[in-house]
Amino acid sequence: MDTSWEASVTDSINAIYLLFSAYLVFVMQLGFAMLCAGSVRAKNAMNIMLTNVVDAVVGSISYYLFGFAFAFGDASNSNPFIGTSYFALKDIPSSSYDYSFFLYQWAFAIAVAGITSGSIAERTQFTAYLFFSFFLTGFVYPVVAHWLWSSNGWLNPNSDSLLFGSGAIDFAGSGVVHLVGGIAGLWGSIIEGPRVGRFDAFGNPVKMRGHNATLVVLGTFLLWFGWFGFNPGSFDKILVPYPHKIDQGNWTSVGRTAVTTTLAGSTAGIVTLFGRRLLVGHWDATDVCNGVLGGFVAITSGCSVVEPWAAIVCGFCAAWVLIGLNILALKLKFDDPLEAAQLHGGCGAWGLIFTGLFAKEEFVLQAYNSGKTQVARPSGLILGGGWGLFGAQVVELLSIVVWVSLTMGPLFYVLQKLGILRITADEEIAGLDISSHGGYAYEANQEESGPRFYGEYLRMQHQS
């Protein structure tokens, strides 16, 4: 009777922990919304806010119907590539998963579409968001999640057949979430092309600053807050004691994961602050915010398996990855209003490599084997762990790039050919708020020279 009571209390606390983490991750949607709104011009603020809402509501339905099943379906006929059970949550709760786990994973899924939305902001038809958000959340992302996070997945570090004797470590999703969203956004932005006026007749970049740095900073801090559910919450359970350690358990690793997350983001922010100061000659708040987020993206893969000092190395390199990719993007005339492809794609890729270099065996055992010391685990290459983990990380990176390119690239291409991806030049110049949503996000819109009301926009269309 006592054992049953203790087990019930343990299960309840673990469920509360997971639910609270899910709520924190969902707060990131608000962070994305604020960051996106502040990073676009005022004439497109309502549009980008609406797309963030659409990502959540459409993603909820697609993930409920198909996504969770493709990601975590573990029926007897499941395979290493894709799940085949739990459609529309049939047979949930099961011996493997309950509603709390679904909610937590749902919060991750809807974040992916938000990343991609930023890459194609200010020039995309609203209808296109409905298509790609449903497809990305319901199919493309869940398949990758199955590879890494389902016990049947071919890259899972706890599968029956470990890739290179290790499996890939992507604890909270530098690859599964951020690289997927970043590569999808990369293809969307390439196929749509740059915004009108982003590059002049000689190919030189023209500044198109976001209209509200206050919202960018607010969004960054909300995302920072939510990342404490994103990374530490990925332990799923907090009341798991480690054998041979009287005072340590998952609660210890949860705290360490929050620390590594903070250190990586903070280091990336500092490096970006001074790096951009040297490059452009002034202190830029929005650049620093993106740097902080780049550090968070990079540490998300190895947050639970690296020392705090390694997190500083991670953040330092992530900042230069982001700065370098942004310079390269301008040279290639690539236009991403939120730097989402560079930030989530580039820093996510670096995070996977970083984990293969710096993962500590003791922490890997804690994260994936509940602290059991009798198990041997490949660890980071630099720490003497051999090539197994590093090789698995590279395979994960390449597999995600190929998978997302083969699925989202053709989707964007078809939408473009059907004429439902990019808006017309007139609509873009007027602004999506007035051309697609009937009015601006703000009552007074002094900084824009376009029509202030929907009727004015229609009269302009008739005159032209």
Tens of pLDDT, residue by residue over 75-105, are 666 689 999 889 999 989 988 899 999 999 9
Res. 344 pLDDT band, cuts 50 70 90: very high
Where does residue 260 rank: exposed (0-12), middle (13-18), buried (19+ CB within 10 A)?
A: buried
Which domains are seen in the chain, by residue range? Answer: 18-444 (1.10.3430.10)
pLDDT of residue 377 exceeding 90, the answer is no
- In the predicted structure, residue 207 carries a pLDDT above the cut 60: yes
Mean pLDDT of the chain: 90
Q: Left if phi > 0, otherwise alpha if psi is -120 to 50, otherwise beta: which for 423? A: beta
Q: Which two tokens stand for residue 169?
A: 């470590």
User: What global pTM score does this model have?
Assistant: 0.92
pLDDT for 98: 93
DSSP code of 422? B
Band of the pLDDT at 247, cuts 50, 70, 90? confident
Distance of alpha carbon 254 from its chain centroid, rounded?
Answer: 20
pLDDT score of 1 more than 50: no
**The pair of three-digit structure tokens given for residue 297, joined into one six-digit string:** 């993206």
DSSP string, 134-168: HHIIIIIHHHHHHHHHSTT-TT-TTSSS-GGGT--
Alpha helices in 281-358 (DSSP H): 285-299, 308-331, 340, 347-358
Query: CB neighbours of 415 closer than 8 A, spacing ≥ 6?
Result: 128, 131, 132, 421
Inform me whether the pLDDT recorded for 282 exceeds 90. Answer: no
Q: Is 301 exposed, middle or buried (0-12, 13-18, 19+ CB in 10 A)?
A: buried
- What whole-number percentage of the chain has pLDDT above 70? 94
Task: Tell me the one-letter amino acid at 222.
Answer: L
Contacts 24+ apart (CB under 8 A), 87-95: 88/64, 89/64
